[in-house]
C-alpha cells in the first residue's frame, strides 16, 4: 500500500509516516480482538519477493472498503525460509480478505539500524525476554518504514513484539 504524503518541498513524496519509537519501546501492550487483515508474502531464504504486490493488494482492499490502518501497523511473521505472513491492522473488517483478530499481552522493543542487523536484534530480544522472566510464544516484526523512507528520514526503526504467555 502506498500512501503519498506531500512534504514541504511538494516535489518529494513519502509513503511511510515518520515513526515515533517512544510509545512502543520496552512497552507491554494489551490487545483484545485487534482487527487485522492477513496475506502471505513469498520469500527466498527470508528475503521477500512479492512484498510490494501484497501491500498494493492491501491498499486496494482498504480503499474499496473505506477502511483505515491504525498506527500504520503491519506485523510480519516469518513462517519459513519461503513464506512470511503479513498482518495489517485495520479499523474494520474488509470484505474479500482474510480478516483475523489478535488478542493478548505483547512485550515490544524498538531497534534502529540496517535490516542486516535483524538476526542480532532477534537474539538480543530473546535475551531481554528471558532476563525479565517472560514466557513467550510467537514473535512478530514490524518494519515501520520502507527502505526509501528510512533513507529519507535517516532512521530505520524495526519493532519486535513477543506474545507473552
Give the bridge partners for 143, in sequence order: 158
Domain ranges, ordered by start, for the chain: 19-164
Q: What percent of the chain has pLDDT over 90?
A: 75
H or E segment at 136?
A: strand 136-143
CA–CA distance, 159 with 165 (Å, rounded to integer): 19
- At 21, the pLDDT band (50, 70, 90 cuts) reads very high
Q: Which residues of 41-73 are buried (b: 16+ CB within 10 A; e: fewer)?
A: bebeeeebeebeebbebbeebbeebebebeebb
Can you give the pLDDT at residue 31? 97
The answer to whether domain 19-164 has CATH 3.20.80.10 is yes
Q: What is the pLDDT of residues 63-88, one digit of tens each?
A: 999 999 998 999 999 999 999 999 99
Residue 4 pLDDT > 80: no
Can you give the pLDDT at residue 13? 59
Q: What is the pLDDT of residues 95-116, one digit of tens each?
A: 999 999 999 999 999 999 988 8
Long-range Cβ contact pairs of 56-62 (< 8 A, separation 24 or more): 56/1, 56/2, 58/1, 58/86, 58/88, 58/97, 59/1, 59/2, 59/3, 61/37, 61/94, 61/96, 61/97, 62/1, 62/88, 62/90, 62/94
Q: What is the pLDDT of residues 46-67, one digit of tens each?
A: 888 888 899 999 999 999 999 9
- At 12, the pLDDT band (50, 70, 90 cuts) reads low
Q: Which pTM value belongs to this model?
A: 0.87
Query: Taking a C-beta distance cutoff of 8 angstroms, is the pair 124, 103 a contact?
Result: no
Amino acid at each position: 500500500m502506498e500512501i503519498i504524503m506531500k512534504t514541504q518541498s511538494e516535489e518529494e513524496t513519502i509513503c511511510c509516516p515518520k515513526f515515533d519509537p517512544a510509545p512502543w519501546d520496552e512497552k507491554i501492550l494489551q490487545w483484545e480482538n485487534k482487527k487485522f487483515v492477513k496475506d502471505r508474502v513469498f520469500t527466498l531464504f527470508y528475503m521477500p519477493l512479492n512484498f510490494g504486490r501484497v501491500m498494493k493488494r492491501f491498499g486496494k482492499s482498504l480503499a474499496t472498503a473505506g477502511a483505515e490502518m491504525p498506527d500504520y501497523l503491519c506485523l510480519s511473521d516469518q513462517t519459513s525460509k519461503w513464506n512470511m505472513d503479513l498482518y495489517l491492522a485495520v479499523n474494520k473488517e474488509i470484505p474479500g480478505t482474510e480478516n483475523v483478530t489478535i488478542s493478548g499481552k505483547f512485550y515490544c522493543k524498538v531497534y534502529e539500524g540496517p535490516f542486516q542487523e535483524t538476526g542480532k536484534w532477534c537474539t538480543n530480544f530473546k535475551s531481554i525476554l528471558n532476563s525479565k522472566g517472560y514466557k513467550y510464544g510467537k514473535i512478530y516484526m514490524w518494519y515501520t518504514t520502507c527502505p526509501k523512507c528510512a533513507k529519507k528520514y535517516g532512521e530505520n526503526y524495526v519493532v519486535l513484539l513477543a506474545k507473552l504467555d
